[in-house]
Amino acid sequence: MYRRILLKLSGEAMCGEGSRGFEHSKIDFLVSQIQEVVDYGVDIGIVTGAGNIFRGEELTEVYYPIADQIGMLGTVINSLYLKDSLKKRGIKSVVVSQIASLPSIRPIHYDDINLYFSAGYVVIFAGGTSNPFFTTDTAAALRAIEMEAEVLIKATKVDGVYDADPKKNHSAKKYERISFSEAIRQGLKVMDTEAFSICNRYELPVVVLNFFEKGSLLKAVKGEKIGSTILPE
């Protein structure tokens, strides 16, 4: 099993597929899945996207670096919302960020992160990489390395990595295990190339799973066969 994980969430985990804003039933499900892992005694860091609020790429009338920064602020909103939702379940959490200074947000310091885990806190990393031009996938890879995670778990709406969109192509092939270099060579879109490169360099495996399947996160933490695993060479 894994003792320390980084969970990468999409904004859709907060609202459901194709929706915007916050859906209470989805938030309740999200928190319940996190609680299972916390109760199992695992250190968990979280990076969330902001697609439920807005995506920088949709702001076509805005200069690209500015649109990216707006998107980063969206992840701060989601992180604070998640913190409050966890608190209502009795789960201690802390939001850390390099781009926002608010009463409920603390700066990122490596020594503090280990102290938070030792005290039983979930650590929520807000604000992406703190720089435009990078996705929250890349942010998740960076934060996973910084917090010395044993695995990066990417929560998606499909049950693994396929060579084509399984919702559009029913003959799409699922990979149980695949290397980062092969995923890059095939142009698989489950994560961006920068994130793959970071994980490969630091030998950090990535598990891709259907987060909306109840219990899938805990199964991955326990090392059970679920989803797809992307591995270094």
Tell me the domains of the chain and their CATH numbers.
4-212 (3.40.1160.10)
With a cut of 70, say whether residue 193 has pLDDT above it: yes
| Identity at 155, one-letter amino acid code | A
d(CA 79, CA 142) in angstroms, rounded, equals 17
Q: Which residue has the tokens 């030998």?
A: 203
Least confident stretch, 26-40, 85-99, 127-141, 165-179: 165-179
9 token code pair: 């969430």
pTM flag (> 0.85): yes
Q: Given this model, what pLDDT does residue 56 score? A: 62
With a cut of 90, say whether residue 207 has pLDDT above it: yes
Q: Where does the pLDDT of residue 60 fall: very low under 50, low under 70, confident under 90, or very high at 90 and above?
A: confident
> Between β-strands 206-210 and 151-156, what pairing exists: parallel, antiparallel or unpaired?
parallel
Higher pLDDT, 129 or 55: 129
